[in-house]
Structure formats: structure tokens, C-alpha cells
């Protein structure tokens, strides 16, 4: 059979188009897996809002490598199984060369094996479990601090806080358990008595049993690790129960402005670790970046309480785009290699990655600053 030369050429071109990878298209796709529904929905939506601000700013300034970026956003529903499904869909169907996610440590740990299986880098914007960067996954790069880093930073505040006995209430997942373990270890090593260690399901709404035992313990500080939804309820129920101890929330996902709005007077006297203090933007490493982010957040009418969470998505997308720019191409391997070579002037500070984990399979870990703020008279203030 004779094949017409022109038809043969067209057939080859068409076959090539069908097999061309996604990064050859008109936009550069970036996958995002966040909890937009479920127990962590408030925080996940704030992260996505921050990511969208970054997307629009980057595209307004010409994009990267001559193309606009396009965020492909998936809802992991605050569920580990769903989180795995989202990253597999993003990689296999959408052909994204890099993903940002997945907010909770439990969700991030669940998706990490898929990232290594498909050899696609994961930019972790929020999760704090130490296991994320010490388990030997070379495709993981985290811009948020670990629970251990947060506890070490908090140590410097102990002389001013004068804590004698600490109790704990945390979610019974990697995020909460890891935080309680690191803080209790640090406090005990510095002469603080450890009282009761209580846990709660991430979906729980009644904490009366735990708070009753905490009240009986008689500690002068209660360390709470969970998302803003449960923090609000805990503050309200602690006040109703007459709990006089200082409440200190850890993990940075506490949205103090939202606590003021939703918990009211019950939030007064509480302390909160944050990784960006929008009330004092001139104190951060890159105030001009922080103020630009804050101005756009306000312009869009986003919830002010989300500023302390949304910046994670904002910095995450800028970090990924800087790596794509450095790599000169948007392929998974090139982006992974470039992430080791960049420094990004972000809201988190100057973002760059140090090696953590077993030799030859190290993950990347950034070292951001940790801040402590206090709610007093319905306002966020510097406690010292």
C-alpha cells in the first residue's frame, strides 16, 4: 500500500501533539491540594486565596518563561484518602510538574509516597510534623517550620512567661501529637512541670471532659494545638467552665483576628504563635513584600483573620515560580533540582532550603521566624 507523503507527515505531527507533555502548553500548570471543605476548611481556603493573589501578581508581571501560570486547585476535603486522590489526579490527568499542599501534617504525610512514586516535587506550605522532612523523601520541600523548630524558638520566651506547670490539649493527628511532644519535651528540659496531656478528634466540638480534667490539674498554662475552628470553641468552653489558666495556641494556624470575632471576650488573655504578624508588618524580614500581600488581601475583601494563613499559599506559589524560572523549564526533575538553588524574599522571610533526612534522600526545610502575640481587650498586641 502506498502512503501519501503529506498524510504521513500530518499523522506524525498529530501523534506528537497527543503525546506532548502538559508543560509544552500555553500555560504552566501548578497543582494545589488544600482542605476546602471538612474540618480544616477555613485554613485551606485562606491558603488558596493567598495562592491566587500570587498567581495574579505573577501573571500581571509577565508570568514565567514567557507563559502565564495556571493553578489547578483540588479540594482534599480534610481527608487523607481524598488527599491522595487529588495529587494522583493532578499528576496523572492534569500533568502538573509540581504541587503545593496539603495543609495538615496527616494529609501531607499521606500524599508523600505518591510524590516519590511519580517523581514530582511537593512544596509544603503549612504542615509541621518532623516526619515530613526526616523520613527520606527527596521530593519534599517545606517552607513552614517544624514543631521542633517552633518549640525551640518558644524556649527563649520562657523567662518572660514564667510558666510553672503546663497542660496540653491537641488533635490526635500528626499535627497535634507532634506539637505536644516537642513542646512538652522542651518545657520539661527547662524545669516546667508537665500536667495532663489531652487529645481530641479533629472534628470534635465538645471539649468539656478534657477541659474539666485540665482545670483539675491546676496548671498555669494550657498549650492547644488545632485549627482555628476548634480553637474558637475551646476558648469559649474554657471561659464557661471558669478555667483561669493561660491558653497558648501553637502551630501558627490560629487566626487571632478571627478568634476575636468569633470567640469575643473568651479570647482575651490568650497567646498565639504565628509565623507572620500582620499587626506589626515592619517587624518582618521583608516588610515591603508583606505590605504588598496585605494590601491586595484587603482590596479583595478577604477575611482579615485569614492573613496569618493566606501568606503560606502566597509564598508557596512564589517559591515554586522562582524554581521554574531558575530551572529554565517546567519539568518535575528540573524544578526539584532548582528548589535547592533559590532564595525567595517572601512573607515567611528569606526562603531557602537546608537538607534534612537520611543522606542521599534529603528533603528541603526552610527556617522561618516564629512570633508570639496576645489578645487583650479585643485587640492583638505584642505581649512583652
Provide DSSP, 228-275: HHHHHHHHHHHHHHT--SEEEE-SS---HHHHHHHHGGGGTT-EEEES
pLDDT at residue 7 tops 50: no
The last residue of one of the domains, among 221, 241, 274, is: 274
Domain count, the chain: 2
pLDDT in tens, 208-264: 999 999 999 999 999 999 999 999 999 999 999 999 999 999 998 789 999 999 999
Identify the CATH number of the domain in which residue 296 sits.
3.40.50.2300
pLDDT value for 254: 82
Residue 14: predicted pLDDT:
38
| 300 occurs within a structural domain | yes
Helical H segments across 119-248, by residue range: 131-134, 147-155, 158-161, 174-189, 208-217, 228-241
Residue 86, domain member (yes or no): yes
Are 129 and 61 within one domain?
Answer: yes
Position 313 scores a pLDDT of 98
Kindly state whether residues 233 and 328 are assigned to the same domain: no
Domain boundary among 233, 248, 274: 274
Angle at CA of residue 329, ends 325 and 332, nearest 5°: 105
The pLDDT tens digits of the residues spanning 165-185 come to: 999 999 999 999 999 999 999
Task: Tell me: do 268 and 297 sit in the same domain.
Answer: no
Residues 235, 302 share a domain: no
249 and 299, same domain (yes or no): no
Would you say residue 265 lies in a domain? Answer: yes
> Cβ(235)–Cβ(247) under 8 Å?
yes
pLDDT tier at 102, thresholds 50, 70, 90: very high
pLDDT band, residue 365 (cuts 50/70/90): very high
Q: Give the model's confidence band at 23: pLDDT under 50 very low, under 70 low, under 90 confident, else very high.
A: very low
On whether both 336 and 218 belong to a single domain, the answer is no
Regarding whether 299 and 182 lie in a shared domain, the answer is no
Strands 99-101 and 122-124: parallel
Q: Is residue 18 assigned to a domain?
A: no
pLDDT computed for residue 21 by the predictor:
47
Per DSSP, helices labelled H in 156-173 are 158-161
Q: 222, 239, 274 — which closes off a domain? A: 274
- Least confident window among 7-11, 38-42, 133-137, 271-275: 7-11
The boundaries of the domain holding residue 299 are 25-145+286-365
- 331 secondary structure, DSSP code: -
Same domain, 138 and 153: no
Predicted confidence band of residue 314 (pLDDT cuts 50, 70, 90): very high
Return the pLDDT at 6.
32
Instruction: Please tell me the pTM assigned to this model.
Output: 0.89
| Cis peptide, bond prior to residue 88, ω within 30 of zero | no
| pLDDT score, position 193 | 98
Whether residue 261 sits in one domain with residue 182: yes
Residue 236 domain-assigned?
Answer: yes
Is 347 within the bounds of a domain? yes
* Runs of H (alpha helix) within the chain: 5-19, 41-60, 80-92, 105-118, 131-134, 147-155, 158-161, 174-189, 208-217, 228-241, 256-263, 287-299, 307-327, 332-339
280 pLDDT band (50/70/90 cuts)?
Answer: very high
Least confident of 22-26, 34-38, 242-246: 22-26
Q: Is 346 inside a domain boundary?
A: yes
Quick one: 198 and 293 in the same domain?
Answer: no
230 and 305 in a single domain? The answer is: no
- Within a domain: residue 7? no
Beta-bridge partner residues of 170? 199, 225
Measured CA to CA, the distance from residue 254 to residue 265 in angstroms comes to 16
Are residues 114 and 37 part of one domain? yes
Proportion of the chain above pLDDT 90, given as a percent:
92
Amino acid at each position: 500500500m502506498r502512503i501519501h507523503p503529506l498524510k504521513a507527515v500530518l499523522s506524525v505531527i498529530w501523534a506528537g501533539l497527543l503525546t506532548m507533555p502538559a508543560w509544552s502548553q500555553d500555560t504552566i500548570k501548578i497543582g494545589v491540594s488544600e482542605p476546602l471543605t471538612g474540618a480544616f476548611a477555613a485554613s485551606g481556603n485562606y491558603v488558596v486565596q493567598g495562592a491566587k493573589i500570587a498567581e495574579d501578581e505573577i501573571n500581571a508581571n509577565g508570568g514565567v518563561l514567557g507563559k502565564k501560570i495556571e493553578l489547578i486547585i483540588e479540594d482534599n476535603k480534610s481527608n487523607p484518602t481524598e488527599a491522595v486522590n487529588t495529587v494522583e489526579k493532578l499528576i496523572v490527568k492534569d500533568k502538573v510538574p509540581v504541587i503545593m499542599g496539603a495543609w495538615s501534617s496527616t494529609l501531607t504525610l499521606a500524599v508523600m509516597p505518591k510524590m516519590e512514586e511519580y517523581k514530582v516535587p511537593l512544596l509544603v506550605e503549612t504542615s509541621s510534623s518532623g516526619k515530613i522532612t526526616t523520613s527520606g523523601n527527596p521530593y519534599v520541600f517545606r517552607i513552614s517550620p517544624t514543631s521542633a523548630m517552633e518549640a525551640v524558638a518558644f524556649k527563649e520566651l520562657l523567662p518572660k512567661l514564667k510558666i510553672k506547670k503546663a497542660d496540653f490539649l491537641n488533635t490526635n493527628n500528626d499535627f497535634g501529637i507532634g506539637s505536644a511532644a516537642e513542646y512538652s519535651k522542651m518545657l520539661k528540659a527547662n524545669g516546667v512541670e508537665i500536667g495532663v496531656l489531652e487529645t481530641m478528634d479533629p472534628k470534635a466540638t465538645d471539649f468539656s471532659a478534657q477541659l474539666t480534667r485540665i482545670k483539675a490539674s491546676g496548671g498555669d498554662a494550657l498549650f492547644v494545638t488545632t485549627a482555628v475552628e476548634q480553637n474558637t470553641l475551646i476558648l469559649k468552653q474554657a471561659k464557661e467552665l471558669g478555667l483561669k489558666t493561660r491558653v497558648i495556641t501553637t502551630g501558627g494556624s490560629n487566626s487571632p483576628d478571627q478568634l476575636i470575632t468569633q470567640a469575643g471576650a473568651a479570647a482575651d488573655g490568650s497567646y498565639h504563635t504565628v509565623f507572620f504578624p500582620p499587626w506589626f508588618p515592619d517587624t518582618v524580614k521583608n516588610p515591603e513584600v508583606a505590605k504588598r500581600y496585605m494590601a491586595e488581601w484587603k482590596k479583595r475583601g478577604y477575611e482579615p483573620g485569614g492573613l496569618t494563613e493566606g501568606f503560606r499559599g502566597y509564598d508557596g506559589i512564589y517559591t515554586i515560580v522562582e524554581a521554574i524560572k531558575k530551572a529554565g523549564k517546567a519539568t518535575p526533575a528540573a524544578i526539584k533540582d532548582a528548589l535547592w538553588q533559590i532564595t525567595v524574599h517572601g512573607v515567611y522571610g528569606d526562603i531557602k532550603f537546608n537538607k534534612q533526612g537520611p543522606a542521599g534522600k534529603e528533603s528541603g526545610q526552610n527556617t522561618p521566624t516564629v512570633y508570639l502575640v496576645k489578645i487583650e481587650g479585643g485587640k492583638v498586641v505584642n505581649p512583652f
